[in-house]
Amino acid sequence: MDKVLTDVHHSLVLESLLFDFSATMAENAVRLLDERIFLGDLVPTVQELMGRYSYERQKRMPLLNYRAFEATIFLKSFRDRLIDMFDSNTLFQRLCLEAEDRKMLRCGNALCLKPVSVKGSHSTCFIALYPNDKTKMKLVLLCRTQDLNLADFMFRERSNIAIHVLDNIAIEASGLALKELHFASECLLKDSLWNSFSSRLSYPNPVESVPNRIPQYQSLDDLLRLVPAHPFLQLPINGSTKKDKIPPEVAFLFGKESGINWLSCCSSMKQNKFFSPNSSTEEKGFINNLFYIERYDVFLMLVVKRDSSLLRADVIEKKCSPEKYQSIFDSVISFIFHYVWRNL
């Protein structure tokens, strides 16, 4: 009988060693970028471990240094207005496009997020699509326990409710996923709103209808929040960033003393194809006039008060292009000078 028990124990230890070996190879492939391992095999390898050894079985395996488990993300549970605009496929495709800049690693049909450390344990986190359900995503986690019992309880910061270490790891990984999914949704909405206001392109995908589901004033607010705006009179022309480099006659044009009726000027701009397409929204007594300049792929934003005075002039660009600033500056100033001349 003792011999049978010894053989069983040795068998379990051998299983633990094989499990740890596979887990270590997967972790090192990510952490050390081990080129001997094909990254596309990582998540299937971890999932194969989970299929062969359920989490309950992993807990009973002696001397096991790793745990492998999954968690399901319900996108609606984030209660994020931007994430709710897109399905999981659209979000994941954008995540893949942004992976390198966001320091995520593409691993076949999954992405490796930043590692999670909880109570001394270290977890490698992968995010992937949930099969046949666009409202969910899946987290695959490989945790090096460092002899930590994941069933132990711990308190999260600012909480008096104790939860298992395992649950805390899943919560931290979910927080990473939320951050990346929110970023992806911002990129998608920015592109969608830009295309909507510029009316240049139309894509046959779910993003196309997003602006139609948002009130125009909110769409404009979102665009201004997502895309950087530069004060028109502070554009770095010819490498200069100093406001005093602007010709005094130009500074006068945009000042209160010029007496320009900016409501009338904006109306004239709307008749000119150079500033087309354009749109206007009124909010809190101000009129936001947005003009798309197709030649330079930028927007000019003129915020006008009800008394026809100019509150602000901004240039909104999707991508910083200093080489265009002089041309944009000259084109706008030329039109305004001509408008003033015609209305003398």
pLDDT for the residue numbered 7: 43
Report pLDDT digits (tens) over 286-325.
Answer: 999 999 999 999 999 999 999 999 999 999 998 888 899 9
Query: What pTM, to 2 d.p., does this model score?
Result: 0.86
User: Cα(133)–Cα(207) distance, rounded to whole angstroms?
Assistant: 18
Beta partners for residue 279, in sequence order:
290
Q: Which residues contact 30 (CB under 8 A, 6 or more apart)?
A: 39, 42, 105, 107, 112, 124
By three-state DSSP, how is residue 107 classified? strand
pLDDT for the residue numbered 182: 98
Rounded (5°) CA angle 293-296-299: 40
Which residues of the chain, if any, have pLDDT below 50? Answer: 1-9, 200-206, 243-244
User: Cα(142)–Cα(144) distance, rounded to whole angstroms?
Assistant: 7
Report pLDDT digits (tens) over 191-231.
Answer: 999 998 997 444 444 455 565 556 566 788 899 899 989 99
- Residue ranges matching CATH 3.30.310 in the chain: 228-342
DSSP class of 75: G
- CATH architecture of the region 228-342: 2-Layer Sandwich (3.30)
